[in-house]
Chains A and B, each alone.
Chain A
Amino acid sequence: MELKSNIPSGPMDQKWEKHRFDLKLVNPANKRKYTVLVVGTGLAGASAAASLAELGYNVKVFCFQDSPRRAHSIAAQGGINAAKNYCNDGDSVHRLFYDTVKGGDYRAREANVHRLAEISVSIIDQCVAQGVPFAREYGGLLANRSFGGTQVSRTFYARGQTGQQLLLGAYQAMMRQVGLGKVQLLPRTEMLDLVLVNGAARGVVTRHLVTGKLEVHTGDAVCLATGGYGNVFFLSTNAKGSNVTAAWRAARRGALFANPCFTQIHPTCIPVSGDHQSKLTLMSESLRNDGRIWVPTKNGDTRSPSSIPEAERDYYLERRYPSFGNLVPRDVASRAAKSACDEGRGVGPGGKGVYLDFGDAVQRLGQKAIAEKYGNLFDMYQRITDENPYKVPMRIYPAIHYTMGGLWVDYNLMSNIPGLYVLGEANFSDHGANRLGASALMQGLADGYFIIPYTIGDYLAKTKLDKVAPDHAECNRVKQDVSERLQKLMAGKGKRTVDSIHRELGKLLWDKCGMARNAAGLKEALGKLPDLREEFWKNVTIPGSGESFNQSLERAGRVADFLEFAEVLLTDAHDRNESCGGHFREEYQSPEGEAQRDDVNFAHVAAWEYRGPGEKPVLHKEPLTFEIVHPTQRSYK
């Protein structure tokens, strides 16, 4: 299989403009003859659904939550990047492009990233026009702050709830189209399989989560905007419901899964407090603008932080990376926290934590100014830990937060299955091996507002698509598969709950494929996976029935998919014999402990073809070339 990235020719800064002209158009009167299925209502899904409906397409949109406004984009805190250069500090499209390619440790497609940087400016315009209440200066103009991995201030924000406000903007635009009858909304409806007809994506099989009813929905193209797979680790900052099922069901039908080992560990999360823990909570990266990270210089120092004198504190990020200090990229900050804790200098229960200290900032700016910037985050920290971060330094530790890997897509965001588009975190496209802060919101909205409306038209205009009705033989066949799988799940009357097996899977992955990985550990985990899968199918118990609101059954289907997907994740991590971005292989590091890439052998996208449980997936490589930003050892010193 040859992977055609379909990157347009021409100079980097003209590719997208040229491509937009080359793309075929569907005339306005014909658009209403097409139906597009959009799965997921986060930033990417909601913005795509709204924009496509505005153009005149009929859109059906699905989400598993009770309302599309619950999608996990809502939890993004810090901000959204855009190359506006409002701060006059030397920002430009080229600089955002450069920072993102470098921040991604040279494992992203240059052309995609350049397009993202170009579009970033329009996103802010769009959101402001929708009424997104971004933070403003006293003169009434938009405010910016800085974020990790950059030396300019290009991040727009709405207190610590930027994701919420952007999502509500996209949701409201979509609901307007629901009111106009152009979008049909199906909440509490989970996609459980993809229907291909003559090799093209033409429909989805869904389960209504309240009635258990299986349905087939058909259309001319399918957009998956279903988020990342971070919950394969059980404990992550993702919402409880976030899952890999839609993407994985597509992978089982032939879509390639790219770079699954590129997982992002966020350095500033609230540490684990006990075995009952259901999820981890992020403290926004923006806190690193004013908070200083430190651990005691002495091992096993159990004094309270206020009684440790300045001279006995190690501000290790400021020491190791003087030019970026506390604002190094996430992968670098996470690894540094891990090594401090591994040396025995970690703080809090079990030594799994470092301090994020606002003492200096409160002294410099006053508590009121700090509260205005981060008040909601401080309140959240206090509710969870019962400690007051204005007085006592926060304790933080890295946690799984985002996944750069995802379904493989070409420049048009189409997977290797014709008519199957993948948007937002669900695709692998723009962040390489490490995503910079405030770039996820930018990518989700770029894909939905400004890319898919153009590229999907080209496909529909060029492709002859016969009508496919929901009772088409292929639809019935896939629906039957789904129904049998649900029956098989319901038949389990063993002794383990779904969550207990999910926790076991998560621990295995965190231990062997977390912040640091090595070949032996990955092999060991790959060896244990088939047993865990067997344990699941043999010994899981799901009470209730499949024809009702059954949350255990929902979770079971998702965990079954995680158990298969984990094999591809581990294989990718095992076979990528280099360290880059979020993928840190202990065998490949510099004497100072920095990640060591292997550009000769691994400057490629690893796209995996699934062949069934227990069978090694087949690797397809898309070589990456760098015309503009030449790979060097990333340095934030």
Chain B
Amino acid sequence: MLSQILYALPFLAEGFAVTLWVSLLVVVLSLIAGVLLGVGLVYGPAPLRWAVRIFSDTIRGIPILVLMFFVYYGLPAVGVHLQSFWAAVLALTLFKTAQVVEYVRGAVASIPKGQSEAAMAIGLTFRQRLTSVIFPQAFRRFLPPWINGVTDAVKGSALVSLLGITDLMQAINQVIGRTYEAMPLYILGALIYFAVNYALSYASRRLERRFAFIRD
């Protein structure tokens, strides 16, 4: 049994690399899109606010699996053909973006109005107010839910196996198909996912402590 698993390790490592790559892409892309749309939701002109609100509410109301199948199997009907990998990344990114939008909105809205006014009063422009006054304070409130969301993204990336992508989950299933060693392999898989997410939570606690200087 052990030798079979050892033999499969390089294959599992490749799957793990795909899992990390998908997670990283989703986390980074959704962070960029989510912050831009989140700021648009708070400060943008009315049409932009409505558009973001509709986007966020719609996406968050759809099961992530439905979204993924829709992008991969549904979009070709309108001429959009994506490779399974990019279809999965797009679907997961859309889903995560909708969440990041809400984290940003909540964090920015929690900063008292007096902060903006004080920043205006010394002559800071809108962009300077955001970068020097609002974001540094909002960041601290944004961080805990966002890190939670990052661990969700790592776990959620296992869904890409359903589009036939060989991530960690799919690799494990394939090795089990060959070896029939379901129990030890699923335990191994669980341990790997857990290790990644535990490391993330640990890093987040360190970060939160570093930004804890602001008393509420």
Are A and B co-members of a single complex? no
The chain A residues found within 8 Å of chain B, CB to CB, are: none
Which residues of B come within 8 Å of A, CB atoms? Answer: none
